[in-house]
Amino acid sequence: MTVADAASGGPADRSAPRPVLEHTDLHHGKIWDLVSETVDLGESQVVREFVDHPGAVAVIALDEDDRVLLLRQYRHPVRAELWEPPAGLRDVDGEPPHVTAARELAEEADLRAGTWHLLAEFANSPGGSNERILVYLARDLSEVPEAERFAREDEEAGMVPLWLPLDDAVTAVLEGRLHSPSAAVGVLAAAASRDRGWSTLRPV
């Protein structure tokens, strides 16, 4: 640990953009694009190709019995059905991320939450994508009235819900039975925050 890190309480990632000398759109996709950029690192210039992603949110919904909601969803790139928290893309211009999280919780799980906090955030694959995922903790849950529920389609139509005790979810992550990054980060962050009396939670 450096002197600066020790003085500030520990290491922290920081924004440090480098000059982009050239930007090329290689492929425009349905959800995200593939781009190439020539970056000036000072002593050298490098070309990096990466996925230009709008970002996403995930919701750790925790009920009064300390159970977390996971949804089984088919993910074609990995050819697997994964257990994940409710989640979605930040694909509505101008929509605050906590509003996106509330919308996804309602659309995917027919739930509303009376209490929201920012639980964690991470870069999903920083070597190949600029995707940033914000993980929210949702509590004081209630059901969306049936007449107001969202009609799910495609992969979302077959999602299966599971309420799992948070400690069991932690065990599933540590034993390698849960592979979704938002599930792993969210479950472990929720358990760690709970063990600290929720003192690490941040306002939305």
Q: Is 204 contained in some domain?
A: no
pLDDT for 155: 67
**Which residues lie below 8 Å from residue 159, measured CB to CB, with a gap of 6+?**
71, 72, 73, 108, 152
**In-domain check, residue 157:** yes
From the list 37, 81, 107, 156, the catalytic residue is 156
pLDDT < 70 regions, the chain = 1-8, 155-157
46/101 same-domain check: no
Task: Please give the C-alpha separations between residue 191 and each of 60, 164, 170, 188, in angstroms, as whole numbers.
Answer: 11, 13, 7, 5
Known catalytic residue: 156? yes
Sheet holding 160-165, edge to edge: 80-84, 67-75, 160-165
pLDDT at 4: 53
Q: What is the pLDDT of residue 56?
A: 97
Domain check: are 63 and 36 in the same one? no
Distance, CA of 130 to CA of 14 (rounded, Å): 14
Residue 9: what pLDDT?
Answer: 77
Instruction: With respect to residue 200, please indicate whether it lies within any of the assigned structural domains.
Output: no
pTM of the model: 0.90
Domain containing residue 119: CATH number: 3.90.79.10
Q: Which domain holds residue 157?
A: 56-195
Compute the Cα dihedral for 102, 112, 63, 69 and give only its sign: negative
- The count of structural domains within the chain is 2
> What pLDDT was estimated at residue 104?
96
Query: Are residues 103 and 34 part of one domain?
Result: no
Q: Is residue 159 part of a domain?
A: yes
Is the same domain home to 121 and 166? Answer: yes
Give a yes or no: residue 99 inside a domain.
yes
Domain identity same for 185 and 92: yes
At residue 1, the pLDDT reads 46
Provide the pLDDT for residue 146. 83
Q: Please tell me the predicted confidence (pLDDT) of residue 158.
A: 80
Which residues, at least 6 apart from 98, have a Cβ–Cβ distance to it below 8 Å?
57, 116, 118, 136, 204
Q: Specify whether 40 is located in the same domain as 85.
A: no
Rounded to 5 degrees, what angle do the CA atoms 172, 177, 183 make?
70
